[in-house]
A and B are shown apart, each in its own frame.
Chain A
Amino acid sequence: MAPLAGRRNVFGLAALALAALPALANPYILYVTNIALIYVILAVGLNLLLGYAGQFAFANAALFGIGAYATGLLQVKLGLSFWIAFPVAVLFTTLVGVVVALPALRLSGLYLALVTLAFAQFTQWLMLNWERVTFGAGGFRVPALTFGPVAPALGLYYVTLLLAGLLVAVAWNTVRSGIGRALVAVRDSEVAAEALAVDLARYKTIAFSLSALYAGVAGGLYSAILSFVAPEGFDLFQMVVQFSMVVVGGLGSVWGSVLGAGLLVGLQEALRAFKGAQEIAFGLLLMACIIFLPDGLISLVKRRVPGWEEPLRAPDPPA
């Protein structure tokens, strides 16, 4: 018999609670939960790249931004409906992710971090300066979504919930499949992985495009919930927020990312008005977690609750 606090029961309950939430909560709670679900998508995607494939890249915030901009701009400039603009934008973001993966095939470690940092700054610069297309620093408004008789906030919430559930399930199945094992092999030793006939180029590209796809979906949903797109949401601080979520939850743990994203969105909301305090809080949290709890909060859960074991945990640091 499955344990009472096993994964299946906990997630069944959580899914029920999330599905019933609109009936119980006020609009603000619904909005924050919606944002949290978007961050769940982002964090799970980033974890596939960082925690499983071990590729340290700063590109995720920029890709998130590209997803949001593409979704918004396709609607505003070409007059497409959201339902066409959104998938096209996701596809475009994924393609950009593949392009970002190109240097990753040749570079590793530090150099990869540098190239993707440059890519992130370049994207930010385009958003600010390519005013003819991106409307510059002020950003632009996106037409509000309508769902027929259903209230827009409610409709968008269920769309986000559905997509988040789907993408988390995809990630969970991916990491337990041959792809997941190959990604972990690449992370733990590229040389050993190659010797075991793991095609490095192929699996790095898979990791980058998967995380870009997740970021694109999150970006499109984010532009819809805010009805507004501006450069400042997609800067380096966004990257730190996502890093914190993945690390606080647990590198190399899908459920850890779900947990980390859910918890830290609350922190971000609480400090919304104070940029300096947000930076200090997330910076400290990231550092403290790396130093004192390197396997994240999920490691505490795993240690205490039976039935939460996840395969492919992060390796012990080399002695």
Chain B
Amino acid sequence: MLPYLVVSGLTTGSLYALVAMGLVIVYKATTVVNFAHGELFMVGGFLAYTFHVLLKLGYVVSLVLAVVAALLLGLVTERVAYRPLTRAPAISLVLAAVGFSFVLKGAARQIWGGLGDYIPFPPLVATPAITLGGLILVPQQLVVLAGALICMGLFMVFFTSTRAGKMLQATAENAKAARLAGIRVDRVYAFTWAAGAATGAAAAVLMAPLTFVYPDVGSPLLVKAFAAAVLGGFGSLPGAVLGGFSIGLIENLAGGYIHTSFTDISAFLVIMVVLVVRPTGFFGPRAVRRI
């Protein structure tokens, strides 16, 4: 049972890692946590469903379209829940994002809610499970794992090697200095929100064939991505990836060996324990308090 649990843990973990990356990208640049990230993910899933199942487009085309739509939605999020509040207290920013997330959730319920409670998404590959030396591999999972790794790789390359990625890093490092160096910081902020939403949507489209799509999928997923990001030390991209895989493994192993219901709560327990015991996670910077 162990190898199977590990493979499925890594698969779901790769998706948590992607979602957590989206959170961390926005956090690094703006020091704001996007509490609407789970709903951006959910809308991404429904958009992919609309393109792929209702409009019968190809899977890859649907993925690209959903990601592009999520990019635009990320820009909207920035416009309505971040930009008007850059000078407001942190509480206002979180409240606005929570408000926006419920607007998205309600809208999804109005638009797609009539299709049924849980909408199945057709599988990507129809091949049955392969047995490899006692190890049962579900091709579906392997495709998802590969897709998630490719997405992560693309983002890493983007951050380290492209001009836009470097601007983003510079802004995250020191917004004032970046502005002095001629970087349009406002645009960079808008772009990070878009990029964060896009990673969320990519994760949603990859995850949809494994699970179901439903309007309430966002908040539990947000908690899992938080757990991943917190475990990695909020603000570190490699930490978020490692944290995502860890959460996936922890919840699958806990679900397999303790009780299936533990799959759902491992992430909550991890958050509570990590934040109380070691709030900086794996890679987090030492906490510095600014007065």
CB within 8 Å for A118 and B91 given contacts A240-B98, A280-B107, A283-B106: no
CA distance A228 to B98 in the complex (A): 28
Report if B250 contacts A (CB, 8 A): no
Task: Point out the residues of chain A lying under 8 angstroms from B101, CB to CB.
Answer: 283
Q: What is the count of residue pairs linking A and B with beta-carbon distances less than 8 angstroms?
A: 142
B230, closest chain A residue (CB): A114
B83, closest chain A residue (CB): A291
Chain B contact surface mostly = helix
Within the complex, what minimum Cβ distance (angstroms) separates B64 from chain A? Answer: 28
B104, closest chain A residue (CB): A283
Q: Is the CB of A284 within 8 A of B267?
A: no
A196-247 interface with B by 8 A CB criterion: 236-237, 239-240, 243-244, 247
Task: Point out the residues of chain A lying under 8 angstroms from B289, CB to CB.
Answer: 191
Within the complex, what minimum Cβ distance (angstroms) separates A57 from chain B? Answer: 11
Within the complex, what minimum Cβ distance (angstroms) separates B100 from chain A? Answer: 6
Task: Point out the residues of chain A lying under 8 angstroms from B272, CB to CB.
Answer: 103, 115, 118-119, 122
CB within 8 Å for A122 and B268 given contacts A243-B95, A279-B106: yes
Number of interface residues of B (CB under 8 A): 49
Task: Point out the residues of chain A lying under 8 angstroms from B85, CB to CB.
Answer: 290-291
Report if B123 contacts A (CB, 8 A): no
- Per-residue CB contact flags for chain A residues 112-123 toward chain B (1 = under 8 Å, else 0) read 011101110110
Which residue of B85, B91, B227, B261 has the most chain A CB atoms within 10 A of its CB atom?
Answer: B91
Report if B271 contacts A (CB, 8 A): yes
Report if A54 contacts B (CB, 8 A): yes
Report if A109 contacts B (CB, 8 A): yes
CA distance A121 to B98 in the complex (A): 15
Task: Point out the residues of chain B lying under 8 angstroms from A184, CB to CB.
Answer: none
Report if B285 contacts A (CB, 8 A): no
Q: Is the CB of B268 within 8 A of A290?
A: no
Within the complex, what minimum Cβ distance (angstroms) separates A113 from chain B? Answer: 6
B110-155 interface with A by 8 A CB criterion: 110, 113
Q: Is the CB of A277 within 8 A of B106?
A: yes
Task: Point out the residues of chain B lying under 8 angstroms from A1, CB to CB.
Answer: none
- Per-residue CB contact flags for chain B residues 219-250 toward chain A (1 = under 8 Å, else 0) read 11001001100100010000000000000000
Task: Point out the residues of chain B lying under 8 angstroms from A290, CB to CB.
Answer: 85, 88, 92, 95-96, 99
CB within 8 Å for A286 and B110 given contacts A103-B275, A114-B226, A291-B84: no
Task: Point out the residues of chain A lying under 8 angstroms from B105, CB to CB.
Answer: 276, 279, 283
13 A-B contact pairs sorted by A residue (CB < 8 Å): A107-B275, A125-B264, A191-B291, A243-B99, A276-B215, A277-B110, A280-B103, A286-B102, A287-B96, A290-B96, A291-B85, A317-B87, A318-B89
By a beta-carbon cutoff of 8 Å, the part of chain B in contact with chain A is 33, 80-81, 84-85, 87-92, 94-96, 98-110, 113, 215, 219-220, 223, 226-227, 230, 234, 261, 264-265, 267-269, 271-272, 275-276, 279, 289, 291
Q: A111-B230, A113-B94, A129-B261 are in contact. List 14 more A-B contacts (CB 8 A).
A: A50-B91, A110-B94, A115-B272, A115-B275, A118-B223, A118-B226, A122-B268, A236-B219, A243-B95, A251-B91, A276-B109, A276-B110, A283-B106, A314-B89
Q: Which 3 A-B pairs have the closest CB atoms?
A: A279-B106, A283-B102, A286-B99
